Amino acid sequence: MAPTLLPVQEILQGGVVPKDYLQTKEDYQFGDVPPALMDTPTIDFSLLSSSPNELTNLYSALSSWGCVQIVNHGIPESVLDEVREMSKQFFKLPMEEKQKYSSKGNELEGYGNTNAIQQGSLNWNDKLHLHVYPQQKRQLQFWPQNPHHFRTSLDEYSKKNHMILELLLKSMACTLNLKEESFIELLWENEKEDNLHARFNYYPRCPMSDNVVGLKPHGDGTVLTILLQDQHVEGLQVLKDDRWFRVPVIPHALTILVGDQMEVASNGIFKSPTHKAVVNPKFDRFSLAMLFIPSLVKEIGPLNALITEDKPQLYKRFKDYGQVYTQSIPSGKRPIDLVKITY
């Protein structure tokens, strides 16, 4: 039977969770009940350029967990609150209004979900996916005009994320005793070529929350993902040493996730974590992920300075990681496994 493509928030109107959304034994990954909290230190972003101790904490978190939360990042709390609120307002609009921005076919951009390309059980998640940078690639027909400030708010928030991304890349290079521009020169073509996407996520409450998953276990195909979590409802979990850990909610922090392309660039030093989104039985949950993807014509591979006799090159070089992603779907493997070199 073909999977239903209805927005998830409409499905429970009938009071029943369709079997397409119920996890199979192949999908479900058992862990602690409930999982423990992730115990990495929170990074004071304002100190990264001046505190060796803060750089050490950043290195420790990203090389072991691949995930860390930053505070004092320079984005006012009022801006974060506004972005969260406009996300909620959009997903609460009448269906006919949201459908004005629906994705076309299997394309990511626009409103809907990605269940048409899922293998196995489906994700309990609706999304609004927008190409933010470069500006000439913005498809404004998918950018909501309701709420009325949506476009200007997203534009402002994206610019601030761009600045955070640049300092993070410099700081990560410094933790490896590289010149601070090393990752930027490898991964960042220019502002007219590199891609920044915004993915607004909505995870409706579900009475069978233990039997569905918001987003299946996966790794991000990005360089870095900057995630604004729900201010009140937990849901992000990361896998470490074959155990799931909950990522705590810190209301005005940003959560940083290492992407596959950064793991490749660092020759395996920084880890792209397997993570998933779980669903709450009583409360809706919202999040916004900013996804940085290099220019599709830029060759990505491990930095030469990180390839040594003791640590040989661990990953192939490639262009357009999206093609690797596509190749991985039938196999069920993580895309990064397809670019690993085995000796």
Span 71-129, pLDDT tens digits = 999 999 999 999 999 999 999 999 999 999 998 877 889 999 876 556 678 899 999 99
CB 206, CB 197: distance < 8 Å: no
What pLDDT is attached to residue 305? 97
CA 159, CA 162: separation in Å to the nearest integer?
A: 5
CA 311, CA 269: separation in Å to the nearest integer?
A: 10
Which of the pair, 116 or 258, is modelled with greater confidence?
Answer: 258
Secondary structure (H, E, C), the chain:
CCCCCCCHHHHHHHCCCCHHHCCCCCCCCCCCCCCEECCCCCEEHHHCCCCHHHHHHHHHHHHHCCEEEEECCCCCHHHHHHHHHHHHHHHCCCHHHHHHHECCCCCCCEEECCHHHCCCCCCCCEEEEEEEECHHHCCHHHCCCCCCCHHHHHHHHHHHHHHHHHHHHHHHHHHCCCCCCHHHHHHCCCCCCCEEEEEEEEECCCCCHHHCCCEEEECCCCCEEEEECCCCCCCEEEEECCEEEECCCCCCCEEEEECHHHHHHCCCCCCCCCEEECCCCCCCEEEEEEEEECCCCCCECCCHHHCCCCCCCCECCECCHHHHHHHHCCCCCCHHHHCECCC
User: Once rounded to an integer, what is the mean pLDDT over residues 317-337?
Assistant: 90
Average confidence score pLDDT of the chain: 91
What pLDDT is attached to residue 3? 43
> Is the previous residue joined to 7 through a cis bond, with omega within 30 degrees of 0?
no
Look at residue 233 and tell me whether its pLDDT is greater than 80: yes
- pTM reported for the whole predicted model: 0.94
Look at residue 14 and tell me whether its pLDDT is greater than 90: no
Per-residue confidence at 4, pLDDT binned at 50, 70, 90?
Answer: very low
CA 318, CA 327: separation in Å to the nearest integer?
A: 13
* Tokens 């849901």 found at: 235
For the ranges 81-90, 104-113, 224-233, 290-299, the lowest mean pLDDT is seen at 104-113
Q: 221: which 2 tokens?
A: 């195909």
User: Once rounded to an integer, what is the mean pLDDT over residues 226-239?
Assistant: 97
Give the model confidence (pLDDT) of 171-219 as tens digits: 999 999 999 999 999 998 666 677 999 999 999 999 899 999 999 999 9
Look at residue 37 and tell me whether its pLDDT is greater than 90: yes
CA 47, CA 45: separation in Å to the nearest integer?
A: 5
Per-residue confidence at 2, pLDDT binned at 50, 70, 90?
Answer: very low
Look at residue 304 and tell me whether its pLDDT is greater than 90: yes
What pLDDT is attached to residue 5? 62
What pLDDT is attached to residue 265? 98
Domain 24-338 has CATH 3.40.50.300: no
With 0-12 CB in 10 A as exposed, 13-18 as middle and 19+ as buried, what is 168?
buried
What pLDDT is attached to residue 116? 57
Look at residue 29 and tell me whether its pLDDT is greater than 70: no
Give the model confidence (pLDDT) of 132-153 as tens digits: 999 999 999 999 999 999 999 9
What percent of the chain has pLDDT above 70?
93
What pLDDT is attached to residue 312? 97
